[in-house]
Chain A
Amino acid sequence: MSVRTVSQLQKGEKAVIRSFSDRLMSLKLLEMGCVPGCEVRLDAVAPLGDPICINVGGCYSLSLRLNEASTIEIE
């Protein structure tokens, strides 16, 4: 089974960040508080299916594009 990513989360589903598949993107994500081990939850999907809004560590809401979310691998 291939690795699941944040872009495949269902609405309301929670997951823990494991690693990143894109090095450049991971820098930005790390700065925004998406650290391996941190719990995220899919909160909302924009009307056209992209971008999505995730809750990061229960702290705040982050909006990102699907292609950005697909670089975040989850457990």
Chain B
Amino acid sequence: MKQENIKIALVGNPNAGKSTLFNALTGLRQKTGNFPGVTVEKKSGTFRLVGGSGQPDRDVTVVDLPGTYSVYPKSADEGVVMDILANPKHPDYPDAVIVVVDASNLQRNLLLFTEINDLGLPTILALNMLDVAASMKLTVNAVQLAMQLNVPVVKINARTGEGVPILQQAVSTLVDKKEKPSVKYFYVPKGNEPALIEEVKSLHQLDNDYVALQYVCQHDNFSFLAQPVRAKLDGLIEKYEFDETGFLAEETIARYKTIKPIVDKAVKSEGISEQPLWTRKLDKILLHPFWGYVTFAIILMVIFQAIFAWASYPMDWIDENTAALIGWTKEVLPAGVLNDLLTDGIMAGIGGVIIFIPQIAILFGLVSLLEESGYMARVMVIMDKVMRKFGLNGRSVVPLISGVACAVPAIMTTRSISSRHERLLTILVTPIMSCSARLPIYSILIALIIPSTKVLGIFNMQGLVLFGLYFLGLAGALVSAWILSLFIKRTEPGYFMLEMPTYKLPRWGHVGFMMYDSVKSFVLEAGKIILAISIILWVLSSYGPSDHMEVAEKKVVMSMSSASAEERGAAVASARLENSYAGNFGRFIEPAIRPLGYDWKIGIALLASFAAREVFVGTMATIYSISGDSEDVLTVKQRLVQEKNDQGGPMYTPAVCYSLLIFYVFAMMCMSTIAVVYRETHGWKWPLIQLGYLMVLAYVSAFAVYQLMS
């Protein structure tokens, strides 16, 4: 009797319904989309197998592996599949595999199935999308299929949950089998390969031919093999004159030859099979030379409208309530250092995080809606040629659009780009897209210098400038990609090849979960950093070296004895700040930022926003010693209007504001982005190059703008 947990893995082609089955099996909602490679992160969940006749209940852990067309990976996320399935010591190595296949496209789907079967893992075939097959006038005989393939075949409908209990029962039956049945290989290699396989088997104590073959073909992708082991395998490849490309083509063709009679026997076709009518009709419009772009432009405009106009209502509400809560806490708790830290540091920091929730939720909801419906694949098609001109790929559109919300998840979606070169370029330029964290900076500076007048009767001047900044971000990203592509040499041809899924109605539950999930990870990941920075900044601006701050405070009090208490209070805070650690640093970097038109106070805000741009407005509020509601844009704005420079003129001239705006369009001021680029490119080389490039770009353009305008 087995007491330990059972582990199973879900494997299947992209768009075969694997993620949907995962949800149906575990009840745990997660992101599913319609374009290849959306299931990038590891998703796992559990379901309970109810025991019977002396059997206890058991938990089954399900791991959803990235969608792939074969065991030979073509992109970073597909590599995960074999790294787990070829390594029995991997913590996620399954006791059984469920291969999910799309019944409407059985031949191609069975290729992956036969490969997984040959690895010697207990396998179940889950026959999905029988309804789509039926609409294409195809009927699949599951019993016939099970007999031919020699594995359990279960008919399911992942969307409705039909057949899922039977599938769970089949898992239980399969893992309880006493002896492992010997593998019936769907492909038997010829020529030199058997001898090579035998040598690898004895060298690594493997008992499966196909696993040994995978050691030969993709040992460089196996994280569990050490470098000397890989070198030894390279030696074997030379010894047996193994030609990988030729072999793989031969293997795939041989597999299709085996599969074809099986499919012919199991599938009955009445008439000519064809994609559903509405998919073909919609494609006529959405891929149309004119209407295709018009539709895409309208969809983009709706997304912008949603992020900037609709989101402003919940954002204002959050803003008012955090301000009220901070004010209330300040009054209720006894005054002192702890009160200040809690209200000005921690609560102001948290307020700065949660204000972005509506924007992130709306954007991710809309993006997942586009993925769910199948439209995103069409966007990639109509944009591929344009993107290629800049060294990118049609698939780069998704990261670039997502970058308008936040570069961190956007960069993670680049894993579906199979060409390393195009993926790297996409990663490097995605942070130039204006993310939601830049929005508060843009809004306050625009409100300062641009009048809210109407242009051409319908457009708001401020809105136009905002749109211009976003456009500048997009243009900057594309041009940068083109410049970088001149320096980063292409090592392999870029692939586009993309399966066009049929259009489907989105499942609202998934869209809702997607919104919840993105907000959760934003609040937890970005929130941690913003919170930490807020506290550090509070400490640095509240304390200073030795007694400088106290001395400065006394001086102000003496010189302003005739002024009102309120004015004096503000001046005291200002003087203290100037002599704090943060103030000292601002003074220290002032010479470097003078040419851009900035003073030491802006220097502090720049420094603080190095960690996260969101911090900028809050820091400005702290720096300009505003009492009370520190997040309220109006009060910060009023204070900025009154701010004087050394010569006694207004500090925030249009030149300074434009210089700051341009600086923030380009500057890579986000620690989370640097961290995610480090993780995705496996090293410090690219994040550092990116940081340097963007800093130079930001500095030079801000310098040019300031010098031209002043």
Contacts and interface: CB of A to CB of B under 8 A. Distances in A.
Contacts of B283: 43-44, 53, 61
A36 B497 contact: no
Given A46-B381, A46-B385, A53-B381, A59 B104 contact: yes
Contact of A47 (B72, B104, B287, B497): B287
B547 interface: no
Most buried by B among A23, A31, A61, A64: A31
Given A48-B386, A55-B275, A60-B104, A32 B69 contact: yes
Interface in B48-101: 69-70, 72, 74
A31 B104 contact: no
Interface string A6-35: 000000000000000001111111111101
B493 to A, nearest CB: 7
Interface in A46-71: 46-51, 53, 55-65, 68
B111 to A, nearest CB: 7
Contacts of A57: 107
Q: Interface size bucket, A side?
A: 35 or more
B256 A35 contact: yes
B266 to A, nearest CB: 15
B497 A64 contact: yes
A64 B245 contact: no
A61 B384 contact: no
Q: Tell me the dominant secondary structure on chain B's binding face.
A: helix
A53 B496 contact: no
B196 to A, nearest CB: 19
Q: Tell me the dominant secondary structure on chain A's binding face.
A: mixed
Given A26-B249, A46-B381, A53 B500 contact: yes
Interface string B374-398: 0001001110111010000010000
B252 interface: yes
Interface in B17-70: 69-70
A44 B381 CA distance: 10
Contacts of B273: 58-59
Nearest to B286: A44
A23 B274 contact: no
A59 B105 contact: yes
Interface stretch (B288-296, B536-544, B653-661): B288-296
Nearest to A26: B249
B248 interface: yes
Contact of A51 (B72, B493, B496): B496
Q: Interface size bucket, B side?
A: 35 or more
Contact of B498 (A33, A44, A47, A62): A62
A50 B385 contact: yes
A33 B70 CA distance: 11
Contacts of B382: 46-48
A74 to B, nearest CB: 17
A27 B272 CA distance: 28
A68 B497 contact: yes
A10 to B, nearest CB: 16
A30 B245 CA distance: 12
A30 B499 contact: no
Given A30-B249, A36-B253, A60-B105, A44 B496 contact: no
B500 A28 contact: no
B106 to A, nearest CB: 8
Contact of A61 (B74, B289, B500): B500
Nearest to A66: B385
A55 B283 CA distance: 13
Contacts of A48: 289, 382, 385-386
Nearest to B496: A65
Nearest to A62: B499
B191 interface: no
Contacts of B274: 58
Contact of A60 (B386, B394, B499): B499
B639 interface: no
Nearest to B244: A27
Given A35-B256, A50-B384, A24 B245 contact: yes
A60 B377 CA distance: 14
A31 B385 contact: no
Contact of A46 (B272, B290, B384): B384
Interface string B236-260: 0000000001101100110010000
B248 A35 contact: no
A68 B381 contact: no
Nearest to B133: A59
A36 B292 CA distance: 33
Given A24-B493, A60-B275, A47 B293 contact: yes
A30 B275 contact: no
Contacts of A36: 253
B385 A49 contact: yes
Given A24-B493, A28-B495, A58-B273, A47 B252 contact: no
A49 B289 CA distance: 9
B568 interface: no
Contacts of A47: 287-290, 292-293, 382
28 contacts: A23-B249, A24-B245, A28-B74, A28-B495, A30-B249, A30-B253, A31-B72, A32-B108, A32-B497, A32-B499, A36-B253, A46-B287, A46-B381, A46-B382, A46-B385, A47-B287, A47-B293, A49-B385, A57-B107, A59-B105, A60-B108, A61-B499, A62-B498, A63-B499, A64-B497, A64-B498, A65-B496, A65-B497
Interface of A: 23-33, 35-36, 43-51, 53, 55-65, 68
Interface of B: 69-70, 72, 74, 104-105, 107-108, 111, 136, 245-246, 248-249, 252-253, 256, 272-275, 279-280, 283-284, 287-290, 292-293, 377, 380-382, 384-386, 388, 394, 493, 495-500
Given A63-B500, A64-B496, 14 more contacts: A30-B252, A31-B108, A44-B283, A46-B384, A46-B385, A51-B381, A59-B104, A59-B105, A60-B105, A61-B279, A61-B499, A65-B497, A68-B495, A68-B497
